[in-house]
Structure 1
Amino acid sequence: MSAIQPSPVRLAHLSDVHLPPPLPISPRALFNKRALSLLSWQQHRRHRHLAGLGDAVVADAIAHAPDAFAITGDLTNFGLPAEFAAAADWLSTLPGAVTVVPGNHDRMTPMPWTSGLDLWSRWMPARPDAFPYMRQVGDVALIGVNSAIASPPFMAYGRVGRTQGERLRGMLLRTRHLCRIVMIHHPPRRGLTPWRKSLLDTAQFAALLKVTGAEAVLHGHSHNASLATVPGTDIPLIGVASASLQSDKPWRQAGWNELSISRASDTWQVDLTRRRVDADGTAHSTVHRTWKRPIGIPGIAT
């Protein structure tokens, strides 16, 4: 008689929700990069990032009863204290385990951690030096990496950094018996974003994962529902569309990723289903993909 396998762990991967900012915004908050971002939001983004569409995406995800939500950054638009408070209220409405990493909009300008991201400490570390962090859900280790740093005007790049990378290496090696799902905002692969929006230490991050292995990497930032691999490995690199963006391009239309992770003997099976929510609120599945990942084996060079 075959052994009874545990039930699959189901994840809802969302990103780049860009919740509507509390208005009005004080002029004192705009003597920096935020002024340019506010202009962009007024002229473009507020007409495309729609609160109702984001609500429909979240409702569809909740209806699928995931065991955990994995959110890869950019809940805010300008990284203002009032936005962090509003995002905390939004996060508190999500059921089950919720894990978050910050995005570039959440770190738009230098500001004390205690003035903003500390309000999300229920769902991620309360200090920047506590990244990476891990939340275990069944046999799945959700490992959150912080790539968000303040950048100059017209830039939105990110960096993991040597110290965080060393901690990540140890964490991934210690958890090889689990299904390791890495969460990061900036995609660790050239070409998925322009250079000014890229992960500056992509090569170092990819080299680390080649040594330690991981079962998948989830990212946001590009607003594209993309599939690739971490350079030099066969580790799936899974992007997701913005959860609130209305677009005439199907791969950018608002949606979320449903991942189902199960174990069979010495192999992890990772099943991905794309969920898209159209402008009329209709939700449907688009892409389905399955990967089988050997347990405890680093990524294999391609």
Structure 2
Amino acid sequence: MITLAHISDIHLSPMPDVGMRDLMGKRLTGFLNWKLKRHGEMNTETLGRLVSHMQEQNADFTAVTGDLVNLAMNAEVERAGEWLRALGSADRTAVCPGNHDAYVPGSLDYAREHWGDYMKGETVEGEAFPFVRRVGEVAIISCSSAVPTPPFMAIGRFEEKQAARLSRILRLLGDADYFRVVLIHHPPNAELQHPSFGLKGHRLFRQVIAENGAELVLHGHTHRSSIHHIPGKNHEVPVIGVAAASAAQGGTLDDPARYNLFRIEKAGEEWRCTMREFGFQRLGPDIVMRMQMRIY
């Protein structure tokens, strides 16, 4: 039996000191959005309490689906590396990047350099994404939808070359009978697409899953707890999003901070997977188990 924790949209705060030279282009609008709205809805205390609760579960592996930072300034990226090391060892933790981690050109490369083994694994064709981590008979496959975008845009992209590599990986792991968990920051299901913050290539992603199969897709980005499905090769594939890990209670847009814990095991020839959601309610100070459901 393998336990897999899923946490997303860390948005580490407070913001480091910002100079005028830091606020060129998109970072200016992002900084204003943070100061006027987001800084009051994302806080360190909430994140710290949630992470401590999750660490008490002693999961075999932790998946982080992006947006560790806000404006992807170098100081933010470096502090996120320290946060990852406190979260868990790199051999038990993997990151797929979010749009805030690729906020401006060059920032994702800087993150990959400083987050090191947290964003590495087995690959094909020598490309960074998708990469694979294997834990027993569970394979965690980390994709990237993170690209720099113009101001007021938060879209992701999933393109043909990455799709081809993901197809190959899914086939190989499926033939070996792994439980395949695909990580991507932006949700790939049609219900959650939007011109300014959706996934460009969401149909292509769903086509890859439909042709090659997977057992689970995990994402962030929406700051909401959600459960959808997309077609798979032999069965529908659950697509599960989780609320932002630093979202304070009382926020106007987001669900309060939460994480998901999956228990995965094989019974004979069939997989069994149970999900439990832990986090804050809109009222009350405690972290509670909000939901438990069997997925397989």
TM-score by length of 2: 0.91
Q: Does 1:287 align with 2:291?
A: yes
Cα distance in 2 between the residues matched to 1:109 and 1:190: 27
Corresponding position of 2:48: 55
**TM-fit CA distance, 1:280:** 5.8
Match of 2:237 among 231, 235, 238: 235
**TM-fit CA distance, 1:35:** 0.5
CA RMSD of aligned residues (A): 2.0
Corresponding position of 1:199: 199
Cα distance in 1 between the residues matched to 2:158 and 2:151: 20
**TM-fit CA distance, 1:195:** 2.4
Q: Does 1:174 align with 2:172?
A: yes
Structure 2 residue matching 1:130: 3-state secondary structure = coil
Identity %: 33
Cα distance in 2 between the residues matched to 1:164 and 1:100: 17
Corresponding position of 2:118: 123
Corresponding position of 1:272: 275
Any idea what the Cα deviations from partners look like across 1:39-65, whole Å, max 9, x if unmatched?
010011110001100001100100111
Structure 1 residue matching 2:117: 3-state secondary structure = coil
Any idea what the Cα deviations from partners look like across 1:63-86, whole Å, max 9, x if unmatched?
111111100000000011111110
Partner letter of residue 295 of structure 2?
W
Q: Does 1:212 align with 2:207?
A: no
**TM-fit CA distance, 1:246:** 1.8
Check whether the contact 1:53–1:281 (CA below 8 A) recurs between aligned residues.
no
Q: Does 1:36 align with 2:38?
A: no
**TM-fit CA distance, 1:231:** 5.1
Any idea what the Cα deviations from partners look like across 1:112-136, whole Å, max 9, x if unmatched?
6543331111201399931000001
Partner letter of residue 170 of structure 2?
L
Any idea what the Cα deviations from partners look like across 1:127-161, whole Å, max 9, x if unmatched?
99310000011111000000000111111000111
Check whether the contact 1:225–1:251 (CA below 8 A) recurs between aligned residues.
no
Which stretches in structure 1 are left out of the alignment for 5+ residues?
A: 1-7, 293-302
Size of the aligned set, in residue pairs, is 285
Any idea what the Cα deviations from partners look like across 1:217-240, whole Å, max 9, x if unmatched?
000000010000125761000000
Partner letter of residue 19 of structure 2?
S
Q: Does 1:67 align with 2:60?
A: yes
